[in-house]
Structure 1
Amino acid sequence: MNVKQIAVTALFSIAAVCTQAQNTTFPETSAAQNEWVDSVFHKLNRRQRIAQLFFIRAHTNLGKAYEDSVGRIIKKEKLGGVVFFQGGPGRQAVLTNAYQAMSKVPLIIASDGEWGLGMRLDSTVSYPYQMALGAVQNKDLIYKMGQEVAKDFKRIGMHMNLGPVVDINNNPKNPVINYRSFGENKYNVTVKAAAYMLGMQNGGLLTSLKHFPGHGDTDVDSHYDLPRLTFTRERLDSLEMYPFRELIRQGATGVMSAHMNIPSLDAEPNVASSLSRPIVTDILKKELGFKGLVITDGMGMGGVVKNFPNGEADVRAVIAGNDIVELSLNSERAINLVRKAIRQDRVTMAQIDSSVKKILAAKYWVGLNKKDTVDEHNVLAGVTRQESLVLQQQLADASVTLLRGKENIRQLTAEKRTAIISIGTPTVTTFQRNLGAHYQHSVFYTLDRNANANQIAKVLAGLSSFDQVIIGIHDTRIRPGNGIVLSDDLKMFIKDMAKKQTIFALFANPYNLAALPGLESSKGLLVAYQKDDFMQHAAASVFKNQLVPTGKLPVTVGTFFKYGDGE
């Protein structure tokens, strides 16, 4: 059985198990006659139907004036949903109840939770980023993560996760997807995304595969400009669209359209794929047969408004066939412009009605046909459950990837004098403290990311008396992108130490290996993907010979490290 057959077999086996958990997928619910949907639909006038297509931005960290302004828009415009961004879980539960009370038709509450609530909300659980999950070989853990995320979302009154990312990150320079992707291999991406998606959906959560038709091979961030993909239709069919096609077959509830210009799919100059009827309706809905919700990426992003300002992008998004228009810069203006477009025969009311019924069916599927409020007591405890934290560590343990030095790590001995060095941070790290409790004769050294030759020399002067040297390289930035910031002197120090009996752990995006020459010849090299404590605990467990690393590298980095590597 080849790699492709194994991956596809795994995908379908997940689907078979998950189908038992939830008999009716949302696309099936959407297609069926529904008394509640029909009743609500017929109570809406034309303007109110159009308003159901628009979802507004909300925060709980910007003060009461901002919260009240969002509430006034919800009440006045009678919008279809809310997308929450930064804030806290308790505050969001309270505000969700307030917003739902203002709306005659219940709102779909959504958020970006690619790695759980922690992507947006303080004090909540963040699971490993998708790049780390791409290294995990046990897909059941990722399915469980989906179930836990669904519990968290529902606990604070949310119904839709704008994820998972199913973009294939085959461009190492990608500034916007990168660590948010499961990796560069379409089969690996599909299997891991299926596990996460089905875990969430079988937990009663709507999901949204993103970013259609595939945002992985670009070096332009669509938040600021319009990326242009010059690939052939054949290439896009066989690679970028592969995960979407497979997961649509598995009952995906939603797909997010991307802001990219793709001439081979739509020849109109400067049009974003999210505004393209040939892409959204002809390819996604008709050719791929997608019956779920199509939601745009944020409509305030530079990639979409640059060429279609003053609300025209919103109109074009509706004409293209998107069911939900996310984060319009001005929803009142957008609704008026869509009404005008209907009068001008640019779009039909029948198309609008079809989207509205689909949105209402989604509301029914998540239980919004029954009036309910979010329990505002003990919210934080409800979304920081012990089982979630255990799973977080299990995922980290399963992701760490040993690229060099299995035998050298086995020979590390607790009784030997051990130097434990952290590079990139001025303070002693979790990694050092964890190892220090095991290595009885250890000394800690730290070298901040801007360390100079003199500071490094002081550390070097003491290393001759040690039998073992373990170095952790830490990227302390909020997000683990490319371009880890280390002084040239530190990079030279790393290169020199790699020639000696030194074991390394990289707490950073694996693409950064390309900027750290010498590690390819080190005596031991473990990739731990990100800076978080759970990754530092996992790496320490490997270096204490308490954990056998099973992760496989999800991307190729330069000439020395290939996709699938891992001892």
Structure 2
Amino acid sequence: MFYLHHIPAPAVLRWVGHMVLAVLLLLLLSCEGADTQQKSIGEPTADYVPERTPYVRAASLVEALEEKDSFWVDSVFNALTPDERIAQLIIIEAFSDKGAKYEADVMRLIKQYKVGGLIYFQGGPMQQAKLTNKYQAASKVPLFISMDAETGVGMRLDSTVHYPFQQMLGAVADNGLIYSMGAQVAEEFKRLGMHINFSPVADINNNPKNPIISYRAFGEDKLDVTAKSLAFMRGMQDNGIIAVAKHFPGHGDTDVDSHHDLPIIPFSRERLDSVELYPFQELIKHGVGGIMVAHMHIPQLDATQNLPSTLSPPIVKGLLKNDLEFKGLVFTDAMVMKGVTKYFETGEAEAKALIAGNDILERLANVPKAIKAIKQAVANGELSQQELDRKCKRVLKAKQWLGLDKYKPIDLNNLYEDLNPSVADSTNRALAEAAITLLKNEKRALPLRLKRRAKVATVGFGLKNPSAYQRLIQEEINTTDFVISRKANKKEAAALSKKLEKYDIVIVALYGPSIRPSSKLGYSKQATALVTKLAKSNKAIITLFDNAYTLDQFPGIEKSRALVMAYQPHYHAQEAAAKLLFGRIPARGKLPVTVNGHFAYGDGISKGVPLIAAP
């Protein structure tokens, strides 16, 4: 037996001191260990490097999606239920002009189901901004805010800038102007608290009878379409907005509108590789953030009967993700379109779209049905929970890349002024002047040279009052202005024809039914016959302010003394046409599509300098 009194007193004191020190040290370490363990379960410690590393924004969305999960992504993801993780993959429609009842329904989907985002359609900028602030404040996770704005927010909202449609841009040689337009659209989006633009249209419109793409495409040449799609995409993405190229794998060569039916694309993979897929391949190489998959049946890629490409694993996973190595976000086209709903029930279609490889479901008919069907697909083993979780985290990574981890409400002050900057007006003018296309100029009819006492008339077809084009012409020369309806009857057409006989020059402006270009102008037989008569009169200078394909609706228009394509009826196009008429600007535009045997891709009498009239 060992006794302390056998040890000298000084040694005993030293031994006791060491023992006390050791016990205190053990207690301290024990407390620190318990504290560390507690913090790792709840709030991580400051020196927990993987979770506390400051977020560094990647140069591109695609890079951000490939990075490891961040602290913000993990914390948000862990706070979501399985149903809410599915809902993050859903973007619902929103309008800002449908009133309180509609807005309450949108709010219910945000609060009850925790949907991931909104796609805005028609309305006004102030009301949309107010609603966005309201919806974001109510959302558990900050919302994606998106828009289908191929021509800027003016395509959907009043009191905002409307840039040209793609066909008009297709006539422009300087793609730097298209980049500038993309950059300005991005600024408009950011000012309205939006993040995703479902644009550019990367379809190659090589079918004049296409009822849905047509003037929405840059043209029929794959190199032109690619270069202009890249310019627009870069303009947006360099300025912080996700561009979504559409409609994969190419909706240009069809005569069926997928809004109303399921188009069938009969082409082989070799044909698709050489034409339709080319723009998408190049956009992927250059970092496009998103791609929208169209509702089309392509038997050569997936022979499953009546299966839209959106629901096809061989097309989404196989072609887009594996073969083309697309690493960005894959969006479906609107899930309310007949191209998908004709053969698949609501819910079933959404589940199949995720199984096929899409990341985000856009514009659903019924959110709870979709969530229920997707959960059933997981239960059936058709879709794994791990895959759903991975998609959810990719959505959260995209939201953090967009800055939604530090969300701020939209400032409503000076909103209208900020959405209508002077630079937008300058860009629209430059685009219109670069696009104006001179297709005929017999005996140097342009620039206009008037003989003494020459009598000049202007005629606006499709108008009730003289147009801006007619007013601009009258500022330069004395004219008598006439207007006539597109639906003119025999008596009205004959009366105007009689009046025009006494004029030496007749300046004709052809307009469609809308500010948007049209597939069908809707001219009566009598109105069309009058256009043909004027074209053959050897005194008509005709300008079409609409879709280039509609030239084919005027037999004999190729016989015009001068023929100009202005593509759209907005003010800057009318101003450019007037300037060309008097030699103030050069003719630089080239026809981006083939219309018929008279008007082919690339046509356009080009002058490097303004067609200045001789004194």
TM-score in same-fold range (> 0.5) = yes
C-alpha deviation, 1:517, in angstroms? 1.2
C-alpha deviation, 1:405, in angstroms? 0.3
Give 3-state SS (helix, strand or coil) of 2:406's partner.
Answer: coil
C-alpha deviation, 1:235, in angstroms? 0.6
Provide the residue aligned with 1:334 in structure 2.
370
1:207-246 matches, within 5 Å, as 207-246=243-282
Provide the residue aligned with 1:66 in structure 2.
102
Provide the residue aligned with 2:469 in structure 1.
431
Equivalent in 456, 459, 469 of residue 418 of structure 1: 456
CA displacement, residues 162-182 of structure 1 (integer Å, 9 cap, x when unaligned): 111111111111111111111
Provide the residue aligned with 1:205 in structure 2.
241
Answer with 1 or 2: which has the greater Rg: 2
C-alpha deviation, 1:189, in angstroms? 0.5
Give 3-state SS (helix, strand or coil) of 1:208's partner.
Answer: strand
Provide the residue aligned with 1:469 in structure 2.
506
Distance 1:317 1:445 in 2: 55
Equivalent in 482, 494, 502 of residue 457 of structure 1: 494
Provide the residue aligned with 1:269 in structure 2.
305
C-alpha deviation, 1:461, in angstroms? 3.1
Give 3-state SS (helix, strand or coil) of 2:275's partner.
Answer: helix
Percent of residue pairs identical: 46
Distance 1:538 1:155 in 2: 29
CA distance 1:23–1:322, shift in 2 (3 Å): closer
CA displacement, residues 407-437 of structure 1 (integer Å, 9 cap, x when unaligned): 2112433964311111122221111001111
Higher RCO structure, 1 or 2 (CA under 8 Å, sep 6+): 1
Provide the residue aligned with 1:366 in structure 2.
402
C-alpha deviation, 1:544, in angstroms? 1.7
Equivalent in 153, 166, 169 of residue 202 of structure 2: 166
Give 3-state SS (helix, strand or coil) of 1:450's partner.
Answer: coil
Provide the residue aligned with 2:342 in structure 1.
306
Provide the residue aligned with 2:543 in structure 1.
505
Equivalent in 48, 65, 81 of residue 117 of structure 2: 81
Provide the residue aligned with 1:520 in structure 2.
558
Distance 1:264 1:414 in 2: 63
Distance 1:86 1:446 in 2: 31
Provide the residue aligned with 1:28 in structure 2.
63
Which ranges in structure 1 are unaligned for 5 or more consecutive residues? 1-21
Provide the residue aligned with 1:13 in structure 2.
none
Which ranges in structure 2 are unaligned for 5 or more consecutive residues? 1-56, 606-615
Provide the residue aligned with 2:479 in structure 1.
442
C-alpha deviation, 1:255, in angstroms? 0.2
Distance 1:478 1:229 in 2: 31
CA distance 1:211–1:494, shift in 2 (3 Å): same
Q: Is the 8 A contact 2:347 2:374 kept in 1?
A: no
C-alpha deviation, 1:462, in angstroms? 3.4
C-alpha deviation, 1:547, in angstroms? 1.4
RMSD: 1.5
1:547-558 matches, within 5 Å, as 547-558=585-596
User: Does residue 1:408 correspond to 2:425, yes or no?
Assistant: no
C-alpha deviation, 1:345, in angstroms? 0.5
- Normalised by the length of structure 2, the TM-score is 0.87
CA displacement, residues 330-352 of structure 1 (integer Å, 9 cap, x when unaligned): 11121121111111110112221
Distance 2:450 2:244 in 1: 48
Give 3-state SS (helix, strand or coil) of 2:445's partner.
Answer: helix
Provide the residue aligned with 2:90 in structure 1.
54
Q: Is the 8 A contact 1:414 1:438 kept in 2?
A: no
C-alpha deviation, 1:233, in angstroms? 1.1
Provide the residue aligned with 2:47 in structure 1.
none
My pick for the range that moved more, 464-473 or 243-252, is: 464-473
CA displacement, residues 276-302 of structure 1 (integer Å, 9 cap, x when unaligned): 111011110111111110000010111
- Normalised by the length of structure 1, the TM-score is 0.94
Q: Is the 8 A contact 1:430 1:536 kept in 2?
A: yes
Distance 1:279 1:462 in 2: 60
Q: Is the 8 A contact 1:55 1:80 kept in 2?
A: yes
Give 3-state SS (helix, strand or coil) of 1:65's partner.
Answer: helix
CA distance 1:414–1:322, shift in 2 (3 Å): farther
Q: Is the 8 A contact 2:347 2:372 kept in 1?
A: no
Distance 2:95 2:595 in 1: 38
Distance 2:106 2:263 in 1: 31
Equivalent in 539, 544, 561 of residue 582 of structure 2: 544
CA displacement, residues 465-493 of structure 1 (integer Å, 9 cap, x when unaligned): 43322111111335322221112122222
Distance 1:42 1:341 in 2: 22
Provide the residue aligned with 1:377 in structure 2.
413
1:53-132 matches, within 5 Å, as 53-132=89-168
C-alpha deviation, 1:318, in angstroms? 0.8
Give 3-state SS (helix, strand or coil) of 1:267's partner.
Answer: coil
Distance 1:252 1:205 in 2: 11
Give 3-state SS (helix, strand or coil) of 1:318's partner.
Answer: helix
CA distance 1:235–1:349, shift in 2 (3 Å): same
CA displacement, residues 515-562 of structure 1 (integer Å, 9 cap, x when unaligned): 111111211000111222221111111112111121110100110111
